[in-house]
Structure 1
């Protein structure tokens, strides 16, 4: 069955709250709350559809928006393709113009709201920053470690946004487990002033023991698993390199993935880069956020968003002094 194209708008106010609307009694999903939007008409662009639907439903116009995520799901009565945009500026006072209830809601309070199926995918994308920072190897000498931690502080200071704190993957494959755990403790302490979220590479048990924010698995490790290894109260991410690995990450219930290499990298010069068309094709319409990784820097953020990435991930271009 061909999915229905739906334009969805996530309005975010100056306090970081989002606008949700309640489905009317005479509509599918009656009583559930959702982000406003509606079905695209024939020959109508997604942008035009979004503007029309939000003007009709909640009375806002002159939208200043950016793509957030596009994905397909069949958790409702029939498959839908959601084209979700984040909207930070508009004209008008949002109100229910079609008899529906609307309200502004803190994101932390949404867990207590009965939301439409698949809203969790949108909320994950909304909570993720545009840059996913990956750490380079830590040095063994005292001077090298001090320099590494100073670079960590600078990197965290410059990443994230006011309502999406920085996110960091502690990737240190050269360390033994005990040394990795000791470093993770120190990193978590250094990350706290920045409200940064730290994902560990090793085990769910270590994540929980150190009260880290999530777990990041390699593609090889993910391929050996059949179930999500950690609870929904923490982030779970997977490294991927093709559409099959992305499909498996989605099956495992990953919150997001990295897809690489998009461009040629100095660390893996033998790897054939995907390029943006293949990135977008592999990413497809999967119900998880995907970061573009490999040979990318801050100037690649705009093309990444244009190709339906959550943002960009990397080491060299985002780590001061690397």
Structure 2
């Protein structure tokens, strides 16, 4: 049996919104690549304690506020690694390469410009994703939808999924350029959740290029997995709706960047669906190698629970969707 090396790593943020990355020594495993600082756990050591120790040894800082981000097992040809990744949002001391390693503060949006080990790819995505994902509620009017998204952006929402199953193609064509501009000006990102009768090819070749990515329904995910057509994607981020372990595996197979997993709690929009609860959510997330948002009955009060269970955060409609004016 291959021994699994348990490693704690930190996505460290400074007060300017930058993230610290360090370069691995050329003679190390995966040498010459950039990484998120951290190191191996000692026998009997908790991941959080190990990370605090490693950051003191490597960077000369003491982490004072940490929260779980993502846990990933990755099998290389020569070894298996379990990455226990934490977000560090407060620390004392000035970060520097105490072991002579180059370190650099970079904008989250530029992380993809650096070469990381293959196991770090989901970490790069998780580091760029916010904790809250807004899914738009059904609206007949494009103008009203734009108005409500504007209000949600003012609440600090940084990721919006435009979901309008009843819109006609011309409504989508009118809304997407304006909504993309709204999100861009607010420092947010826009995902498009296409209605089932709007061809995926249409979005990929046109509207999706204006947004930051495309969201697949579970039906579209199954079709994509069967065809393999979106594995080599050119639509920015790709996300998907998942409800089962099987769908989570399909998302990984297709190359999805992140998913929503539902329903976690009871929801008024789908009362016929039995919620999985937090324990089942945690069990499913633990076996998933990409960021997972908890969806179904979520509000801001559920955010700490999702994060503590290994989730990227929460996705919701009513939590941040303004009521009818």
Give me the TM-score of the superposition, normalised by structure 1. 0.90
Against the structure 1 CA distance between its residues 228 and 18, is the aligned structure 2 distance closer, same or farther, given a 3 Å change threshold? farther
Equivalent position of 1:151 in the other structure? 148
Q: CA deviation at 1:207?
A: 4.7
Judged with a 3 Å threshold, the aligned counterparts in structure 2 of structure 1 residues 95 and 188 are, in CA distance, closer, same or farther, namely closer
Q: What is residue 291 of structure 1 aligned with on the other side? A: 293
1:138 Cα deviation from its structure 2 partner = 1.0
Match of 1:183 among 175, 182, 187: 175
Contact 1:228 1:254 in 2 (8 A): no
Q: Are the structure 2 counterparts of residues 115 and 43 from structure 1 closer, same or farther at C-alpha, using a change threshold of 3 Å?
A: same
Q: Are the equivalent residues in 1 in contact too, given 2:204–2:234 (CA < 8 A)?
A: no
How far has the Cα of 1:177 moved from its partner?
Answer: 2.7
Match of 2:206 in 1: 209
Deviation at 1:189, TM superposition (A): 3.6
Match of 1:196 among 167, 172, 188: 188
Indicate if the aligned counterparts of 2:214 and 2:235 stay in contact, CA closer than 8 A: no
Q: Which residue of 2 aligns with 1:115?
A: 116
Question: SS of 2:56's equivalent?
Answer: helix
Q: CA deviation at 1:67?
A: 1.3
Q: Relative to structure 1, is the Cα distance of residues 199 and 272 closer, same or farther in structure 2, using a 3 angstrom cutoff? A: same
Return the alpha-carbon distance in structure 2 between the equivalents of residues 146 and 111 of structure 1.
Answer: 34
Task: Tell me what 1:279 maps to.
Answer: 281
Provide the rounded CA distance (Å) in 1 between the counterparts of 2:108 and 2:268: 40
The 3-state SS of whatever aligns with 2:6 is strand
Distance 1:57 1:258, change over 3 A: same
Deviation at 1:86, TM superposition (A): 1.4
Structure-2 separation of matches of 1:114 and 1:228? 26
Q: For structure 2, which runs of at least 5 residues remain unmatched after alignment?
A: 195-199
Q: Counterparts in 2 of 1:15-94, with a 5 A limit?
A: 15-75=16-76, 77-94=78-95
| 1:263 corresponds to which of 265, 268, 277 | 265
Structure 1 Cα separation of the partners of residues 201 and 55 of structure 2: 42
| Per-residue deviation, 1:2 | 4.5
Gaps of 5+ in 1: 161-165
Name the counterpart of 1:163. Answer: none
Question: Take 1:109 and 1:264, find their aligned partners in 2: how far apart are those partners?
Answer: 38
- 1 CA distance for matches of 2:57 and 2:33? 20
8 A contact 2:190–2:213 mirrored in 1: yes
**Residues 256, 290 of structure 1: 8 Å contact kept:** yes
1:72–1:79 CA contact under 8 A, matched in 2: yes
Judge conservation of contact 1:131–1:159 (CA < 8 Å) in 2: no
SS at match of 1:181: helix
**CA displacement at 1:26 relative to structure 2:** 3.6
Partner of 2:13: 12
Query: Aligned partners of 1:103 and 1:311: how far apart in 2?
Result: 27
Report the Cα distance in structure 2 between the residues aligned to 1:279 and 1:200, rounded to whole angstroms. 25
Q: CA deviation at 1:220?
A: 1.3
Q: Is the 8 A contact 1:207 1:213 kept in 2?
A: no
Q: What do residues 242-289 of structure 1 show as CA deviations (whole Å, max 9, x unaligned)?
A: 111011101111110000000111111110000000001111232210
Q: Which residue is 2:127 aligned to? A: 126
The equivalent position to 1:308 in structure 2, one of 301, 307, 310, is: 310
Superposed CA offset, 1:49-98 (max 9, x none): 11111111111114322111111112463111111111122111222222
Q: Is the 8 A contact 1:25 1:31 kept in 2?
A: yes
Describe the shift of the 1:266–1:76 C-alpha distance in structure 2 as closer, same or farther (beyond 3 A). same
How far apart, CA to CA, are the structure 2 residues paired with 1:8 and 1:79? 15
Aligned to 1:168: 160
* TM-score, structure 2 normalization: 0.89
Name the CA distance, whole Å, in 2 between partners of 1:99 and 1:195: 35
Assess if the C-alpha contact under 8 Å between 1:24 and 1:99 holds in 2. Answer: no
Specify whether residues 12 and 23 from structure 1 end up closer, same or farther in structure 2 by C-alpha distance, changes over 3 A only: same
What residue is the counterpart of 2:4 in the other structure? 3
